[in-house]
Amino acid sequence: MTGFAQSEGESDGTSFLWEVRSVNGRGLDLRFRLPPGFDALEPGLREAAGKVLRRGNIAANLTIRRARAARPEPDPVMLDHVLALALALARRIPGGAPPRAEALLALPGVLRIDDERAPPDEGEARAILDGFGEALAGLVAARRAEGARLAALLGNILAEIADLHAEATALAQAQPEALRARLRDQLAALLRGGETVPLHEERLAQEVALLATRADIREELDRLASHLAAAHALLDEPGAVGRRFDFLVQEFQREANTLCSKAATAALSACGLRLKAAIEQLREQVQNIE
């Protein structure tokens, strides 16, 4: 299910912006783009998202801006260490000059830069997590609004399937007579040079009955009616129903395929193909349901 939401906030001079997007997906796929130094927040973010989302490909982007200017600060431990080494070395060199401050500060690790790459402190981390919760709430609201529109669309598709089911039921009544006519035509085609072969009606009726049994689609039509009722029940059910709807659509497809394979008339075959097209539309839209 698609959706978009964002939230922004500020904590101790650090401003942040969350942008969260959702597109269709069979499962829940979470992808975070966090600034360097903020990776430790990801487990908590995933836990928060997993509590309110069940399906979809979710992309969450965090942008950080810190008001305070980046400034270099000495690392006290490293500075003391290199200073002690430099003084000890100067004492061992006769007439050696004492170490210069700029030379010590130029050594790797002595200076560190406090900038946007620095990990968040506890207050910043809490504010960022709260902001993500707000963005998630906005995303859920957007997905629910889309869900209301999607429910109406699914209702229309199910109504179309119900109409095709009724049409197929009516056309199925003509199957036995169509099979009888086809069998007569096939037998007539086997006659040679105008020879006549007596056709026993009883034997013909037996063959037609056998073919009609194999082409009987009443079970498929009954199961389609049951699936339609189950689909409407899922639409009325609160909570996540997407996965169950997925499996139900597979049953729709199975019955439609069998119906087409058993069709003995062009009209029923055409009806079955339209039924399969409607079920495919249903399958595509069901991918949007959480």
Q: What is the per-residue pLDDT for 209?
A: 54
Computed over every residue of the chain, the mean pLDDT equals 82
Tell me the average pLDDT across 151-170. Answer: 92
Same domain, 192 and 217: yes
CATH of the domain at 130: 3.30.230.10
52 & 76 share domain: no
106, 89, 107, 109: which is closest to 98 by C-alpha? 89
Same domain for 187 and 133?
Answer: no
Looking at the structure, do residues 188 and 256 belong to the same domain, yes or no?
yes
Span 265-273, average pLDDT: 87
- Shared-domain flag, residues 64 and 99: no
| Rounded distance between C-alpha atoms, residue 87 and residue 157, angstroms | 84
| pLDDT reported for residue 202 | 63
Residue type for position 194: G
The answer to whether residues 216 and 282 belong to one domain is yes
Q: Are residues 110 and 50 in the same domain?
A: no
Q: Is 6 exposed, middle or buried (0-12, 13-18, 19+ CB in 10 A)?
A: middle
Summarize the confidence of residues 90-110 as an average pLDDT. Answer: 82
| CA–CA distance, 38 with 117 (Å, rounded to integer) | 8
Residue 14: strand, helix, or coil: strand
What is the CA angle 14-72-117, rounded to 5?
40
Residues 153 and 168 in one domain: yes
Q: CA of 84: how far to CAs of 80, 95, 99, 118, 125, in Å?
A: 6, 18, 10, 28, 37
Determine the structural domain holding residue 89 and report its residue range.
71-114
Among 101, 126, 142, residue at a domain's last position: 142
Burial 242-267 (b: 16+ CB within 10 A, else e): beebeebbebbbebbeebbebbbbee
Residues 175 and 43 reside in one and the same domain: no
DSSP state of 6: E
Q: Read off the pLDDT of residues 23-60 as tens digits, 9 standing for 90 and up.
A: 877 778 999 999 888 889 999 999 999 998 888 889 99
Q: Are residues 281 and 158 in the same domain?
A: yes
Same domain flag for 31 and 50: yes
Residue 281 has pLDDT above 90, yes or no: yes
Based on the domain organization, do 164 and 232 belong to the same domain?
Answer: yes
